Structure 1
Amino acid sequence: MALDAEGYIAVPPVTAFQPAFQAIVDDTLHQLRLTVGDDLHSLWLYGSVAFGTAVEGQSDLDVCLVFRHPLAPATRDSLAAVKERLTARHPVVSKIDVDKGTLSEVMDPNNLNTWGYWLKHHCRCLYGEDLSVRFNRFRPSKALARALNGDFTKVLDEYVAKLSCALPGRQQWQRAAARKVIRSTNMLRQDSDADWPATLAEHVSRFVLRYPDQEAAIAFFLAESYQPGASAREFISQLDAFRGWLVQQLEQS
């Protein structure tokens, strides 16, 4: 599990980018800086590309942008267009996800367990001020898990809507939804739990130890998180059933 010797959640070491992904990293940095201009405070990567574990053609490029001020609608539209062009130019990634926030949102004390934790423990700054140095390391906690995953019903609703409408990219939506489901199980932790799962497999292992009767259900989502094979109808059915169970458990805890 991802803890350091002092019991804090580990901060991943920065390594060289995998050669296959260097071009898209460079192109993304250049295009986004060009599009946003002086309103861009900092640009970050997170996920497998950021830390050297990406798989060609399967992994996403996960980007986080921090702006000095809220963006004008025209700039937001330009960002969306840039993302589409980058995705088309670089099939080495399955898709590009961009998280956005303003500097005031990031530094708001009310967002410490979301933005603060995320930048400190999951992101790699490529451009601008490295805000991660402003935050202390975090320890595992139930409050942290719930802050990070409390939006799971809303997020899963969005994925279900895309799958129900047969929008392009079914496999990527199923993969993303499965990963959200797995990570959301960390909300079932106890205040006394000192561990902190880092990988999807670690989330599943700790979940099965506590809920062995749900092993088959979570194994389905683990398989889908890597290589989606279920039909959209089957996936939604499994998702609705597990989500209902998870909500019930959270209400009782």
Structure 2
Amino acid sequence: MAGTVPHRGLDAQGYIEREGSLGRIPHAFRPVVAAARDRLIDLYGGRLNSAYLYGSIPRGTARVGRSDLDLLVVTRREPTEEDRSGARNLGEALDKEFPEIDGVGTLLYGRARLLSDSETYDLGWFVACLCTPLLGEDLAEDLPRYRPDARLARETNGDLARLLPRWRERIATAEDTDEARHHLVRFMSRHLVRTGFTLVMPRWSGWTSDLREMAEAFAAYYPERAEALREAAEFGYDPPGGTSVLRSYVDDLGPWLAEEYARVHGVKASRPAD
């Protein structure tokens, strides 16, 4: 049962270790990472405070032609629309030029927001534990260390109820193509699996970013929902293009998970952007 779930991702003091490193980047992805680094310098110049990699590429688990390149870009001041447009254009160019990746996802924030008190246990934790420094200042030096506790669970994924109406709108307005549905299923599957995992994370007493391991940790505490999350974990890697999965997420699994999350951990504090 729950006690047999293998724990990992913590140091000897019980803090979440930073995952990923530049040394773990698979050889096939090093050219696109080098290109991203150089072009970020050219694009943002002195406005750039930091840049990070996150996701499967710095963890060393990326699959050629299937994995995306995930970037976090930090500007010295709040990013402008020009900054956001530049990030989109850069991502599109890299995606076209490098067949090794399947898309580019770029998060763009100002330094002050990432270091704000309201983001300490959300975006701050993300930077300190899930992001690999690529350029500039490492903001983790100004952030605390993190344990897999209820506060972290609440402030990272305790907003699913607020997200579900937006998801329904995205499904309703998405292009009627397998590719569009493919990306939606992958995005929502990953989000639900991570939410299911952080629901049980304080009891599991560990951290992992592996979707299948997340689903197994969840299954030890919620066997009645285990198969649904295991399926979502698989779809997070290899999503289908149909609409039935999306409907099940916003009509069944998502609402149940949001309600149980609020019952166990409470609701994430609102942010100005909400």
TM-score, shorter chain, exceeding 0.5: yes
Paired residue for 1:217? Answer: 228
CA shift for structure 1 position 150: 2.7
CA shift for structure 1 position 188: 2.5
Q: How is 1:20-59 mapped onto 2 (pairs within 5 angstroms)?
A: 20-59=28-67
For 1:130 and 1:207, how far apart are their aligned partners in 2?
A: 32
Specify the code of the residue in structure 1 equivalent to 2:98.
H
Q: Gapped runs of 5+ residues in structure 2? A: 1-7, 265-274
1:71 matched to 2:79? The reply is yes
Paired residue for 1:239? Answer: 249
1:198 matched to 2:192? The reply is no
**What SS does structure 1 have at the residue aligned with 2:59?**
coil
> For 1:59-117, what per-residue CA distance to the aligned partner results, in whole angstroms no more than 9, with x for missing partners?
11110011111233233222222221111111211111111111111221221112321
Q: How is 1:119-130 mapped onto 2 (pairs within 5 angstroms)?
A: 119-130=127-138
TM-score, normalised via structure 1 length: 0.90
Paired residue for 1:4? Answer: 11
TM-score, normalised via structure 2 length: 0.84
Flag as ranges the 4+ runs of structure 1 deviating above 4 A: 153-160, 190-193
> For 1:198-237, what per-residue CA distance to the aligned partner results, in whole angstroms no more than 9, with x for missing partners?
32122211211111111221122122111112512x1122
For 1:197 and 1:19, how far apart are their aligned partners in 2?
A: 23
> For 1:34-70, what per-residue CA distance to the aligned partner results, in whole angstroms no more than 9, with x for missing partners?
1112111011101111222111111111100111112
1:92 matched to 2:100? The reply is yes
Flag the 1:39–1:161 CA change in 2: closer, same or farther, 3 A: same
What percentage of residue pairs aligned between the two structures are identical?
26
Q: Gapped runs of 5+ residues in structure 1? A: none
Say whether the 8 Å CA contact 2:51–2:74 is kept in structure 1. Answer: yes
> For 1:177-211, what per-residue CA distance to the aligned partner results, in whole angstroms no more than 9, with x for missing partners?
10100001134338565333432122211211111
For 1:118 and 1:72, how far apart are their aligned partners in 2?
A: 22
Paired residue for 1:178? Answer: 189
| Higher mean C-alpha deviation, range 39-48 or range 113-122 | 113-122
Q: How is 1:109-124 mapped onto 2 (pairs within 5 angstroms)?
A: 109-124=117-132
CA shift for structure 1 position 123: 0.8
- Number of equivalent positions: 252
CA shift for structure 1 position 160: 4.4
For 2:99 and 2:156, how far apart are their aligned partners in 1?
A: 30
CA shift for structure 1 position 156: 5.1
Report the RMSD for the aligned CA atoms in angstroms: 2.1
Flag the 1:157–1:87 CA change in 2: closer, same or farther, 3 A: farther
Say whether the 8 Å CA contact 2:216–2:226 is kept in structure 1. Answer: no
